[in-house]
Amino acid sequence: MAKELELKYGCNPNQKPAKIFMKEGELPLTVLNGKPGYINFLDALNSWQLVKELKEATGLPAAASFKHVSPAGAAVACPLDDVMKEIYFVKTLELSPIASAYARARGADRMSSYGDWIALSDPCDEVTAKLISREVSDGIIAPGYDDAALEILKKKKKGGYNVVLIDENYLPAPIEHKDVFGITFEQGRNNYKIDESLFGNIPTKNKNIPESAKRDLMIALITLKYTQSNSVCYVKDGQAIGIGAGQQSRVHCTRLAGNKADNWYLRQHERVRSLKFKKGIGRADRDNTIDVFISDDYMDVLRDGVWENLFEEKPVPLTREEKRAWLDTLKGVSLGSDAFFPFGDNIERAHRSGVEYIAEPGGSVRDDNVIETCDLYNIAMAFTGMRLFHH
């Protein structure tokens, strides 16, 4: 391992010189293939911390799909049912635990995950590499690679796919630094441990948070720990289904993440799964088309006749009433917020996407209003007392 690594450029081509380096000791990573850039390494190091903490908290292999220093998806290894296999395009694959984790992380928000950086908590095996080889992706970080997996990954992007090996035993210094406008900032690392002990303070009337929801709330909070603030995360069955990142208003985070969660669930509607695409339509084009099909803009597409280039037969769009009726069957969703909810409107929006469990720091002057809104919908909410801003 080297002490420093020169990069082609920084965030943009005009930002030179660029490198990553250690002030003391050697870099805890090795580039096995490709030439990762500045943003690649920001994604790699943030996403690695996320999956490492997910595995430590849940005991399950974990994966993340990262874009522009925020996760597009995160998940732990859980079995996929037939519907999930279909909408994640993995019906023909026998998935290992780490492969199932990545399929779930990549599949929840496929549009945002396009061209992602991948992080795995466990060594990458052959089936996971095969899954990655079919997707548009920039690179991967993992604590190990099977020989067969490495050979598959090295062929991706005409041999230029970025493959990074991380030392899973590396522990960073407790103090971190960052330069902005020539001025150095210093702070202690955010080493706050996220576990079930955070969910003991439940101010709502409904105080029942089952073990499965506690796991999902931990996944939400750990995901938020590495998401640009303001941020909100919806989780169901061990995977993030909607992440809202970097918004100035918290309710905009809640809406953005809730819309993504809705899209994830609408993709499971029988009418959407039965769409008959013409041969030759690629996976990314199908993702984009499905997103339009379940949006309110699809009627304009029908009027323009664009469907003729995509489908073998004219599909029947879902009405707003049909979509609402389907979304009303979504239940058991957990929601985490990196800071307190200032108004009950966040809870109103969360309820529309099946949220039944919430974890947030508490501490707003309007906590009473937020609690009352939760009680209106029988939502169980825990005050963690822990803010998770990430910048």
For 280-314, give the DSSP string: T--HHHHHHHHHHHTSTTHHHHHHHTGGGGTBSS-
Q: Which residue has the tokens 């690679």?
A: 145
* 3-class SS letters over 101-136: HHHHHHHCCHHHHCCEEEEECCCECHHHHHHHHCCC
**What is the b/e burial string over 131-153, where b = at least 16 CB atoms within 10 angstroms of the residue's CB?**
bbeebebbbbbbbebeeebbebb
Q: Exposed, middle or buried by CB within 10 Å (0-12, 13-18, 19+), for 292?
A: middle
Among this protein's residues, is 391 annotated catalytic? Answer: yes
The pair of structure tokens assigned to 232 is 């909100």
What are the angstrom distances between the C-alpha of 140 and each of 23, 129, 205, 314?
25, 10, 44, 39
Among this protein's residues, is 68 annotated catalytic? Answer: yes
Cβ atoms < 10 Å from Cβ of 183: 7
Among this protein's residues, is 351 annotated catalytic? Answer: no
Catalytically annotated residue among 67, 85, 225, 351: 67
Catalytically annotated residue among 162, 230, 263, 346: 230
Collapsing DSSP to helix, strand or coil, 245 comes out as strand
Helices 147-154 + 126-133 axis angle, to 10: 10
* Residues in contact with 175: Cβ distance below 8 Å, sequence separation at least 6, in sequence order: 186, 187, 188, 189
Rounded Cα distance, 160 and 139, in Å: 9
Cβ atoms < 10 Å from Cβ of 127: 22
Which amino acid appears at position 63 of this protein?
Answer: A
Active site residues: 67-68, 230, 391
